[in-house]
């Protein structure tokens, strides 16, 4: 089960900037906390709701959320053009191909962004989207809830009951959700971000997927 931003696509900075600018575009709100750990859940839906509650004293209505999603997508597309596209984390395309071909593993997506923006980012990065079971911020406020829905959909799509689920993510909120769900965790991060994941209890942190064997070794090593 893969998170998206920072895990499969190198899109954290693009995503953060587009989100902050869209909050200003739609609500005229500046100066929001970009320390995402200060929000109850690190998902687009929850972050937007809490920003509106703090700054406007109310939740966004469904029209505002729809408008926000549309504007966010435009901001992401503009940012992607500036940067020459959304890039996959190195080796992610080869890894997903190997997983698709594997008789022992299946994969799905569970991320904190909204579906429309995830679709844009994965397609821009030339990673598979359409056939892969997924759940995102449209489906639940919390990452744990998103992961559980993704698992349900994966079981339906693949017609299997999965007793061993491994979550792959890049944020400390990903490590925490994995712990809450009892899923072993593989971190994808470098430098200080990698140190933070380890400090949060991530047993394995890889910089990317260029060394595919390292990822497969990690899968086997941490599977219960």
Interface contacts to Mg ion, rule CB under 5 A: 3, 5-6, 170-171
Q: Which is nearer to Mg ion, 27 or 184 (CB)?
A: 184
Q: Which is nearer to Mg ion, 27 or 36 (CB)?
A: 36
Q: Which is nearer to Mg ion, 44 or 170 (CB)?
A: 170
Q: State the nearest-atom distance from the C-beta of 107 to Mg ion, in Å.
A: 16
DSSP alpha helices (H): ranges in the chain? 12-27, 44-56, 62-83, 92-101, 115-124, 143-158, 172-181, 191-199, 212-222
Going by C-beta distance under 8 Å and a sequence separation of 6 or more, which residues neighbour residue 145?
A: 139
Q: Which is nearer to Mg ion, 37 or 61 (CB)?
A: 37
Q: Which is nearer to Mg ion, 27 or 137 (CB)?
A: 137
Q: State the nearest-atom distance from the C-beta of 114 to Mg ion, in Å.
A: 14
Q: State the nearest-atom distance from the C-beta of 176 to Mg ion, in Å.
A: 13
Q: Which is nearer to Mg ion, 144 or 170 (CB)?
A: 170
Angle between helix 115-124 and helix 62-83 axes, rounded to 10 deg: 10
Cα 201 to Cα 189: distance, rounded to the nearest angstrom = 14
Q: State the nearest-atom distance from the C-beta of 143 to Mg ion, in Å.
A: 10
DSSP structural state of residue 89: P
Q: State the nearest-atom distance from the C-beta of 118 to Mg ion, in Å.
A: 11
Calculated CA dihedral for residues 176, 66, 85, 132, nearest 10 degrees: 60
53 in Cβ contact with 45 (< 8 Å) = no
CA-nearest of 173, 64, 59, 33 to 112 is 173
Beta carbons within 10 angstroms of residue 35's beta carbon: 7
Burial class (CB in 10 A: 0-12, 13-18, 19+), 192: exposed
The residue at minimum Cβ distance from Mg ion is: 6
Cα 6 to Cα 10: distance, rounded to the nearest angstrom = 5
Q: State the nearest-atom distance from the C-beta of 166 to Mg ion, in Å.
A: 16
Q: Which is nearer to Mg ion, 27 or 205 (CB)?
A: 205
Q: State the nearest-atom distance from the C-beta of 7 to Mg ion, in Å.
A: 5
């Amino acid at each position: 089960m893969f998170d998206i931003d920072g895990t499969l696509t190198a899109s954290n900075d693009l995503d953060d900037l587009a989100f902050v600018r869209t909050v200003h575009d739609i609500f005229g709100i500046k100066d929001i906390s970009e320390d995402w750990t200060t929000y109850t859940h690190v998902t687009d839906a929850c972050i937007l709701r809490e920003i509106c509650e703090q700054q406007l004293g109310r939740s966004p209505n469904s029209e505002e959320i729809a408008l926000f999603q549309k504007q966010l997508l435009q901001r992401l597309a503009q940012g992607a053009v500036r940067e020459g596209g959304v890039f996959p984390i190195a080796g992610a395309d080869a890894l997903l191909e190997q997983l698709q071909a594997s008789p022992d593993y299946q994969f799905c997506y569970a991320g904190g962004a909204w579906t429309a923006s995830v679709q844009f980012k994965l397609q821009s990065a030339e990673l598979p989207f359409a056939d892969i079971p997924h759940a995102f911020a449209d489906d639940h406020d919390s990452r744990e809830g998103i992961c559980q829905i993704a698992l349900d959909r994966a079981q339906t799509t693949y017609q299997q009951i999965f007793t061993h689920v491994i979550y792959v993510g890049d944020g400390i909120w990903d490590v925490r959700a994995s712990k809450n769900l009892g899923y072993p965790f593989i971190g994808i991060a470098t430098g200080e971000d990698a140190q933070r994941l380890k400090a949060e209890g991530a047993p394995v942190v890889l910089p990317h997927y260029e060394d595919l064997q390292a990822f497969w070794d990690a899968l086997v090593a941490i599977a219960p």
